[in-house]
């Protein structure tokens, strides 16, 4: 059983408490005590204005998270027009699109990231993982985040889209601006950074699409330029709104997962030995660490009509924060949820969301994580975080800024 630690004393009556909680370094380091406190309180209200809407209800219990994610009619993913909070000018496709329009985009995009298609990438991902390990194995140490967790998914992403690898530094820079506002503490400054990064992102893809259309460079972007939905070509805006979402998902969430996984394994040798001695348990280990760590711990919805969650009223237009991380560690939804068990046979976690908006890239993410675990532990079975190291965890999307590892 994993000790969840002392429960934090959250003042649910103070407006803005939820945002302060999510920006707290202690929450980023280990959100599980906060999840327990939130579950005990039930659906929690936090009434304060943010971007013209009232932040309303935090959903944290397994059954209520499931009901919310599966009811896209009442809990909408369409965030409206104008600036969307992460620098985008229009709703992201298909993440912020509701039915029936949502289906036509998923029908188009799902085949590119389906299990059979993703399986074809395994040899290239395997070669890339080993190439990265070659760069530091003999040294006996590495800075895991920059030398492995960042370049692995980013390189896969650029190759998939048909973009030049030399553009990686540009993407990493605008990704940090879009997702984390370059670490600015002021919300206003964060939004300014996100807006500027968003404009750079749109400008880049406008130029890239023109170049790819002229050169006919193979990749997903060329396929999107040629694709039709209901007999019509996608507009440039539609393609760029898909690409904007890919920036977030392709460049950050797998990196975050890798950092969470290796930080856990470096400090839990008994679990690491399971992977080394029984590599056939790696698929189960991936699911279990996704559940327990939940790098993407929350997803957002907006109430499309007046409703209620667990007796808590929710009004039309109010924001709903769905804490999938809290549901993933809820003992009422998952037996022995406080333990990490790589032999867990059934694992109904929500790390990839749920319902019609279940993560488009979940199969690719799983493939990258499985190959990374297999190849790393085949070559580097023992490693630790050096004594005295204080890891710095990022808020919102959980990751480790720097993760030094030592191995013999």
DSSP letter (8 states) at residue 234: P
The string of DSSP codes covering 205-241 is: HHHHHHHHHHHT--SHHHHHHH-EETTEEPPHHHHHH
pLDDT tens for residues 52-71? 656 789 999 999 999 999 99
Residue 356 makes CB contacts below 8 A (sequence gap 6+) with 72, 99, 102, 103, 106
Give the separation between CA 395 and CA 392, rounded to whole angstroms.
10
The predicted pLDDT at position 9 comes to 82
Give every residue of the chain whose pLDDT is below 70, as ranges.
Answer: 1-5, 50-54, 79-85, 185
Alpha-carbon dihedral sign for residues 19, 82, 234, 159: negative
- Phi and psi at 135, nearest 5°, equal -70, -15
Of 21, 56, 38, nearest to 320 by C-alpha is 56
Answer whether 46's CB lies under 8 Å from 55's CB.
Answer: yes
The residues spanned by each domain of the chain are: 30-380+398-406
Q: What is the pTM of this model?
A: 0.92
Q: Which residue's structure tokens are 């027009």?
A: 81
SS3 helix, strand, coil % of the chain, rounded to 5? 55, 10, 35
pLDDT tens for residues 320-369? 999 999 999 999 999 999 999 999 989 999 999 999 999 999 999 999 99
> Strands, E, within 315-397: which ranges?
319-322, 393-394
Class of domain 30-380+398-406: mainly alpha
Answer whether 162's CB lies under 8 Å from 220's CB.
Answer: yes
The predicted pLDDT at position 83 comes to 38
């Amino acid at each position: 059983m994993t000790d969840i630690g002392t429960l934090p004393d959250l003042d649910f009556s103070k407006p803005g408490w939820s945002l302060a909680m999510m920006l707290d370094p202690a929450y980023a380091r280990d959100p599980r005590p906060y999840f327990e406190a939130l579950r005990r309180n039930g659906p929690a209200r936090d009434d304060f204005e943010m971007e013209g809407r009232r932040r309303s209800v935090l959903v944290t219990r397994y059954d209520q998270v499931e009901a919310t994610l599966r009811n896209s009619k009442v809990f909408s993913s369409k965030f409206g027009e104008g600036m969307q909070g992460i620098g985008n000018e229009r709703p992201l496709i298909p993440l912020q699109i509701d039915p029936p329009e949502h289906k036509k985009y998923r029908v188009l995009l799902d085949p590119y990231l389906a299990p059979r298609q993703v399986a074809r990438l395994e040899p290239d991902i395997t070669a890339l993982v080993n190439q990265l390990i070659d760069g530091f194995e003999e040294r006996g140490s590495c800075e895991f985040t920059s030398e492995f967790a960042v370049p692995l998914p980013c390189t896969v992403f650029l190759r998939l889209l048909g973009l030049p690898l030399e553009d990686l530094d540009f993407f990493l820079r605008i990704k940090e601006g879009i997702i984390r506002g370059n670490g600015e503490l002021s919300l206003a400054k964060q939004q300014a950074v996100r807006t500027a990064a968003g404009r750079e992102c749109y400008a880049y893809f406008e130029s890239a699409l023109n170049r790819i259309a002229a050169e006919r460079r193979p990749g997903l972007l060329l396929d999107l330029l040629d694709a039709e939905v209901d007999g019509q070509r996608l507009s440039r805006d539609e393609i760029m709104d898909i690409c904007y979402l890919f920036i977030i998902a392709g460049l950050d969430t797998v990196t975050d997962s890798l950092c969470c996984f290796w930080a856990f394994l470096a400090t839990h040798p008994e679990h690491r030995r399971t992977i080394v001695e029984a590599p056939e348990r790696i698929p189960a280990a991936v699911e279990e660490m996704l559940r327990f760590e939940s790098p993407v711990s929350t997803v957002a919805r907006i109430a499309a009509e007046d409703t209620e969650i667990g007796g808590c009223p929710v009004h039309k237009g109010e924001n709903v924060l769905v804490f999938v991380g809290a549901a993933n560690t809820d003992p009422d939804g998952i037996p022995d949820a406080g333990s990490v068990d790589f032999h867990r046979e059934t694992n109904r976690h929500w790390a990839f969301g749920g319902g019609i908006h279940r993560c488009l890239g979940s199969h690719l993410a799983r493939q990258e994580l499985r190959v990374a675990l297999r190849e790393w532990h085949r070559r580097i079975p023992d490693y630790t975080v050096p004594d005295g190291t204080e890891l710095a965890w990022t808020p919102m999307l959980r990751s480790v800024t720097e993760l030094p590892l030592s191995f013999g």
